[in-house]
């Protein structure tokens, strides 16, 4: 979709205003359903990303380390496949193995453990924050480039910044400050009255961010 920077800024501001004025999950769902300008290809498929109801605590990670399932480097130990007994765990491990994603685990585990000390990552910001989200601690959302692209345009009125943010395609040390500003926004009084709202806001901002991206 070919939108001008001025039009994008107007759309983003209007959507954030609606989010901030929401009082329920149903309100957030309606906002998403009303975004008829978003093409189907940019819609998040709920079947692919259903809401995660479980949580993972730092203590659970420490227990896995004590059992020799996770190494001190925060990755699976070499003999992990001889110890997995649960069929669901076997299937999910196999998918991660086939996709070459096993080493990404260390960034997620680091995020889970860092909820106790609030350490700042030096890379892999998306996976690190996802680990924090999995602890289900307050105001630890899922983030990615699309969510932050939407949020970054909300917080600026600079034409140059809007152009730059629309082209944002990775989260790095230069723009990681957006993660913390986004979390602060989520803590705002207007949003705290809606319980378990992070997931639904993430969907809205993900779809919006994909649509307004300028290549």
Q: What is the pTM of this model?
A: 0.90
Position 194 scores a pLDDT of 81
Mean pLDDT of the chain: 92
Position 1 scores a pLDDT of 61
List Cα–Cα distances, 136 to 57, 161, 174, 185, 205, in angstroms: 9, 32, 27, 17, 20
Give pLDDT tens digits for 9-56: 999 999 999 999 999 999 999 999 999 999 999 999 999 999 999 999
Q: Which of 150, 213, 202 is nearest to 11 (CA)?
A: 150
Give pLDDT tens digits for 137-189: 888 899 999 999 999 999 999 999 999 999 999 999 999 999 999 999 998 86
Cα-atom radius of gyration of the chain, to the nearest Å?
19
Q: What is the mean pLDDT of residues 54-82?
A: 94
């Amino acid at each position: 979709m070919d939108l001008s920077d001025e039009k994008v800024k107007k759309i983003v501001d209007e959507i954030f205003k609606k989010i901030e004025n929401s009082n329920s999950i149903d309100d957030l769902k309606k906002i998403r359903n009303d975004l008829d300008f978003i093409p189907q290809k940019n819609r998040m498929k709920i079947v692919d990303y259903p809401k995660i109801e479980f949580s993972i605590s730092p203590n659970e990670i420490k227990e896995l380390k004590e059992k020799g399932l996770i190494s001190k480097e925060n990755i699976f130990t070499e003999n992990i496949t001889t110890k997995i007994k649960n069929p669901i765990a076997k299937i999910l491990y196999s998918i991660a193995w086939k996709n070459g994603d096993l080493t990404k685990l260390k960034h997620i585990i680091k995020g889970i453990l860092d909820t106790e000390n609030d350490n700042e990552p030096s890379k892999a910001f998306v996976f690190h924050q996802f680990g924090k989200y999995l602890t289900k601690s307050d105001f630890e959302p899922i983030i990615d480039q699309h969510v932050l692209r939407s949020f970054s345009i909300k917080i600026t009125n600079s034409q140059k910044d809007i152009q730059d943010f629309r082209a944002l395609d990775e989260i790095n040390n230069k723009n990681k400050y957006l993660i913390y500003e986004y979390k602060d926004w989520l803590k705002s009084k207007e949003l705290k009255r809606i319980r378990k709202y992070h997931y639904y806001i993430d969907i809205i901002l993900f779809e919006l961010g994909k649509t307004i991206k300028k290549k």
